[in-house]
Amino acid sequence: MTEDETLEKQIKEIKQRNQRVEADKAWETSVARRTILAVGTYLFSVFLLLSIEAPNPYLSALVPAGAYLLSTLTLPIFKKSWLNSRK
């Protein structure tokens, strides 16, 4: 393999890696991911609250799911502030 072919192969591998990283980052910040996690949190909380026979389990399960959504909305603000303080 020539040096040019080696460089082309390396560039191709880097581009493929960058595409994977960008896709992972897009998933991490996506509304779909947040929705899936919030619904999963709600359903798991309902299951636990029903199993311990807590009052109003369907309403009470909104608390952890809502807290998760709130944290995903506020964390970017804190992250930006934290990153700015490190400059």
Domain residues for the domain of 42 are 3-85
Cα(2)–Cα(32) distance, integer angstroms: 45
The half-sphere exposure of 46 on its side-chain side, counting CA atoms within 13 A, is: 10
Using pLDDT thresholds of 50, 70 and 90, give the confidence band for residue 1: confident
DSSP state letters, 19-63: HHHHHHHHHHT-HHHHHHHHHHHHHHHHHHHHHTT-SSHHHHTHH
The 10 Å Cβ neighbour count of residue 68 is: 16
pLDDT of residue 87: 77
Q: What is the rounded average pLDDT of the residues 62-82?
A: 90
For 8, how many CA atoms within 13 A lie in the half-sphere containing its CB? 5
Quickly state the pLDDT bin for 86 (edges 50, 70, 90).
confident
Q: Across residues 38-49, what is the average pLDDT?
A: 97
pLDDT of residue 26: 92
